[in-house]
């Protein structure tokens, strides 16, 4: 955010992140932002000054330095690209669907659909809001990608919802554990692992 060379407070950064980067990366807490700003200042990658209004209120403003701009430019162009980490709580609930029931799983999926629809709307609105500023051109296409991601998530969730009843019928053929819940044959996962390894070796 500071690479746009605007003098901003930690509060400004948080609002800016929640407007854009939050849709496809991460939204840090205020405490995390201020901790990182202090660290960056100690490394002389940003500078700060205290701005006071006519009353007694004051706020600290931060601005990127030449060294900071060089560092973020180098990172953008040369740092290894970390693969995205998928931590999907909805899919984790589906994985443990044998402990639930079709009605409850569909309710959870409906809640998830409502969530991704809201995120999709936000991504579209934020992208449209940024289009008027040429300096945000790349932010705009990142937000459009985020909008497409949430639109796809909605379709995946709706498709998954249609598969719940058929999946539960298949689950009904499974054996039962000592707690009365469906379970696979003990140790069968080892056979599956061997089959997969053999297939990979053959490929």
pLDDT truncated to tens, each residue of the chain (203 aa)?
889 899 999 999 999 898 888 899 988 999 999 999 999 999 999 999 999 877 668 899 999 999 999 999 999 999 999 998 889 999 999 999 999 999 999 999 999 999 999 999 999 999 999 999 999 999 999 999 999 999 999 999 999 999 999 999 999 999 999 999 999 888 888 988 899 999 999 98
SS3 assignment, position 57? coil
Options 1.10.10.10, 1.20.950.20, 3.10.180.10, 3.30.360.10; CATH of 2-78? 1.10.10.10
CA distances to 7, 27, 92, 107, 173 from 89, in Å? 37, 17, 5, 14, 26
Q: What are 59's strand-pairing partners?
A: 51
C-alpha–C-alpha distance, residues 98 and 168, integer Å: 8
In this structure, what are the phi and psi dihedrals at residue 174, rounded to the nearest 5 degrees? -75, 160
Name residue, tokens 């790349």: 138
Strands of the chain (E only): list them: 46-52, 58-64, 175-176, 182-183
SS3 assignment, position 65? coil
């Amino acid at each position: 955010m500071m690479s746009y060379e605007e003098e901003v407070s930690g509060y400004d950064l948080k609002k800016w992140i929640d407007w854009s980067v939050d849709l496809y990366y991460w939204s840090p807490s205020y405490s995390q932002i201020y901790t990182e700003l202090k660290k960056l200042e100690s490394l002389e990658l940003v500078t700060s000054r205290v701005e006071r209004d006519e009353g007694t209120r004051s706020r600290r403003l931060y601005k990127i330095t030449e060294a900071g701009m060089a560092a973020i430019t180098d990172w953008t162009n040369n740092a290894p690209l970390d693969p995205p980490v998928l931590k999907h709580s909805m899919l984790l609930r589906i994985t443990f669907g044998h402990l639930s029931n079709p009605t409850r799983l569909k309710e959870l999926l409906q809640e998830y659909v409502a969530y991704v629809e809201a995120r999709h709307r936000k991504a579209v609105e934020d992208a449209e809001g940024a289009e008027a500023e040429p300096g945000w051109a790349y932010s705009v296409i990142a937000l459009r990608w985020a909008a497409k991601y949430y639109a796809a998530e909605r379709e995946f969730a709706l498709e998954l919802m249609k598969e719940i009843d058929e999946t539960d019928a298949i689950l009904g053929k499974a054996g039962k554990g000592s707690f009365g819940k469906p379970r696979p044959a003990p140790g069968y996962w080892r056979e599956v692992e061997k089959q997969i390894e053999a297939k990979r070796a053959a490929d």
